[in-house]
Amino acid sequence: MHRISDEQRRIRLANRHLLAPGTRADTPVAVADALIALHATDASTVFLSVCARLRAPDIATVEKSLYDDVSLVRMLSMRNTLFTVSEALAPQIEASNARAVAAKERRTFLKHLAEDGKGLDERWLADAEDATLAALTARGTAAGSELSAAVPALRTKITVFPGKKYEAVQGVASRVIRILAAEGRIRRDRPRGSWTSSQFRWTAAEPRTVPPTAGAQAELALRWLGSYGPASEADLKWWTGWGLGQVRTALKAVGAEEVGLDDGSTAWVAPGDMASDPAPEPWAALLPALDPSAMGWADRGFHLPTEHRAALFDRSGNIGPTVWWNGRIVGGWAQRADGEPVWRLLTDAGRDATAAIEAEASRLAGWVGDARITPRFRTPLERELTS
């Protein structure tokens, strides 16, 4: 069996994730497509992930892609998590993941409505959705609070989990809006405040033509292997949130080829993708919390030393800001209150690494400017660096 070493995996990561300086992209769409999807739960992650990989990092360029030409779109998709993908790839993401997520969101909310006992049902929800869409169309864009003010149904409150110790009274506005967004009927527009804000306005979305689920899952698996392979079934299952049967069906459909890894396990690559990538020049990167290069595999042992996990992850398994040297995570970074990036190495990577990391920190500070970044999911090392 053909073997792909951990060193070759790190080289592939550098080249295919656009992290080595010579591989950087010219457009945010090129970055998104190289990584398949950008984590977007934390609004600043999209900008930090994209700009780390652009030859000329610029906030306005990313905003233009998100809000003007809408060549990048945010979607609730893999693992019921918010991602940003290119509009060209969005139909495959919708068919392979987002459509099932939206259906589950609707079922769950209808169950809560039924349990509340006020007689709120599917007809009530449809009317509330129609009224919300009408209000949004009339305004062009609106924040959730503005929609609630305009649509009486959105001011309804229900009791969720009645009779349980975690029973609570909740407003329905965020759930109705979430379902409309999950189904692609509305989309996130410019936020209130700066690019680091998650207080989005909403606007109506154009419907997409969506392919069949099985074909979309096969295409997504093929693209993902091109960016993240070699990878195991467990890696693809974790990243997509699919069942193991769906993973195996997709891998078989695309003709994925099996290879051996340094630890003795086996993994999969896209058909014909066994040749070694050329080694890039030495490189350093400062990547944000939840960056795809740190979150792309269930097993990240080839680039993340086990002893670093306690400092770099929160209790829910979210990785914080990371410092990279030649394909390995060697430390973490944060931004002080005065805006200065500060970092700490958890591995002694040598003088060349230190110089390269300092240069990347300076580059980051240059395009971040006056913005202040606090990750939504804070990790032990990030808290220490900002204390």
**Each residue's pLDDT tens digit, 61-94:** 999 999 999 999 999 999 999 999 999 999 999 9
Neighbour count for residue 121 (Cβ, 10 Å): 11
Where on the phi/psi map is residue 33: left (φ > 0), alpha (ψ -120 to 50), or beta?
alpha
Question: Is the predicted pLDDT of residue 387 greater than 90, yes or no?
Answer: no
Q: What is the per-residue pLDDT for 73?
A: 97
Per-residue pLDDT of 50-69, as tens digits, reads: 999 999 999 999 999 999 99
Do 240 and 213 form a contact (C-beta atoms < 8 A)? no
Q: Taking residues 4-11, what's their average pLDDT?
A: 98
Question: Is the predicted pLDDT of residue 193 greater than 90, yes or no?
Answer: no
Q: Taking residues 240-265, what's their average pLDDT?
A: 97
Strand partners of residue 76:
82
pTM for this prediction: 0.94
Do 376 and 289 form a contact (C-beta atoms < 8 A)? yes
Q: What is the per-residue pLDDT for 136?
A: 96
Q: Where are the domains of the chain?
A: 102-204, 284-386
Confidence of residue 196 (pLDDT cuts 50, 70, 90): very high
Question: Which CATH number does the domain 102-204 belong to among 1.10.10, 1.20.120, 1.10.357, 1.10.238?
Answer: 1.10.10
